[in-house]
Amino acid sequence: MKKLYLIITLLCLMVLPAGSCFAQDEETGSGHTVSEITDQPALYYEAYLHEGDWSGRCTAMQSAGDPYGTQTIDAIRMQIDLNRYLDIIYRVHNKEGWTPWVKNNELAGTPGKAIDGIEIRLEGRASIIYDVSYAVMIDGKGWQKWTKEKQTAGDLQNVIRAIRIKIE
């Protein structure tokens, strides 16, 4: 019986590479396991509307703002849960120019000043695995094409009424 066990063990070692899908939580070299870094991030965001109300907490692909009404977005905040190795960094543009970059649930924008552009990026160890994309609804122009990470969504002239964000 011991010989059979030894033969099976040796065959498995020759056939299965160390990094196969059967390997359990190997370290990545950063002191963190693969499963810790690759847990699907949960994205939440909400828009502060011109009349002083929050649009409500949205998850990936939902519309934050007032896409079919008359209100504009003055500010936004977003956060990623369940992944401590990924930060979401963002800034908005209004008539006064770009706001400073903020991250992880900090407010970007100024109540009373409608935004007309937004940029978002990911940082952290897991940012090599995920990408962020976002689409905005511009007043009078409707929904725009999805914008990739670090690019400007919005035309920096017409106000934004709604935004959708996703992490893939």
Q: Are 117 and 95 in contact (CB under 8 A)?
A: no
Torsion of CA 7, 11, 14, 18, to 10 degrees: -100
State the pLDDT at residue 84: 74
State the pLDDT at residue 82: 66
State the pLDDT at residue 141: 94
State the pLDDT at residue 83: 67
Where exactly are the structural domains of the chain? 41-167
Give the chain's end-to-end CA distance (angstroms, integer): 49
Per-residue pLDDT of the chain (168 residues; tens, 9 = 90+): 444 443 454 444 444 333 332 233 344 444 545 445 556 789 999 999 999 999 999 999 999 999 988 999 999 999 998 667 899 999 999 999 999 999 999 999 999 999 999 999 999 999 999 999 999 999 899 999 999 999 999 999 999 999 999 999
State the pLDDT at residue 81: 87
Q: Nearest-CA neighbor of 48 among 7, 76, 87, 15?
A: 76
State the pLDDT at residue 28: 44
How far is the C-alpha of 134 from the C-alpha of 73, rounded, in Å?
Answer: 15
